[in-house]
Amino acid sequence: MHIIKIRDKANLVLLHGLGVLLLFLMAFSTVQAVELDSKNRDPKYVESILGRAKKNVEKLELKDAEATRNVTNIIANRYFKLNDIYAQRDSTVAKIKRSNLTGDTKKVALAAAENEKESAIYRSHFAFPADLSLYLNDKQIEAVKDGITFGVVMVTYTATLDMIPSLKEEEKAQIMSWLVEAREFAIDAESANKKHEAFGKYKGRINNYLAKRGYDLVKEREAWYARIKARNAEKKK
């Protein structure tokens, strides 16, 4: 009986191990190929978006061809999703403007259309990095976000530090925090101009913050331009 019990325990351990392996294989199998959401879309538009997504993914230098394809499709599908959301908003707004609604009733209807757009964006916002996380690490996901937003985070951050070399570490951290926050809004913007507008709002916040910290931005900018001019002159020698 004692031997049988020992064997029973061994079998239980073996079965438990097989169970864990089976669960792992099942989870792994759920990561399937990402299909491109191109049905009923203008082929030229799809080609343009795919080209944009591919340029973004090329910078990641992924080694796995399947992962490259899936990440490309995830990024492209995000553009398609946003296009659908904004197209629905525009369609609703157009109907309201063609209707007999007037005054406050019309304003409420237009506000409702805008709120519905915002809700749709919010509901889909976090799915994008979650989908990317199946194939990319955090650093690579950050790179994708920067690619979509034209690298404005680092361009602005680097320029600000170059303009004001005396910035304290906590000030640098605050500036970067706001730029990263701005990027989250820029990712969901409907056009390149709207993406830059999202950053513009936070640049204004950064300027106000620095002014309150005692920096004379006019003088700092003038001195910065002088340094840039001097650098360019040095390069030409």
Residue 110, SS3? helix
Torsion of CA 77, 78, 83, 88, to 10 degrees: 100
Report helix, strand or coil for 222. helix
- Structural domain spans, the chain: 43-135, 149-236
CA distance 196 to 150: 9
Question: CA–CA separation, 82 vs 49, rounded Å?
Answer: 12
Nearest-angstrom CA–CA distance, 77 and 42: 14
pTM of the model: 0.82
pLDDT of the residue at 32? 80
Per-residue pLDDT at 31: 59
pLDDT at 4: 40
CB of 186 closer than 8 Å to CB of 195: yes
Could you list the pLDDT tens digit for every one of the 237 residues in the chain?
A: 444 444 454 444 444 444 444 444 444 445 589 999 999 999 999 999 999 999 999 999 999 999 999 999 999 999 999 999 999 999 999 999 999 999 999 999 999 999 999 999 999 999 999 999 999 999 999 999 999 999 999 999 999 999 999 999 999 999 999 999 999 999 999 999 999 999 999 999 999 999 999 999 999 999 999 999 999 988 887
pLDDT at 117: 96
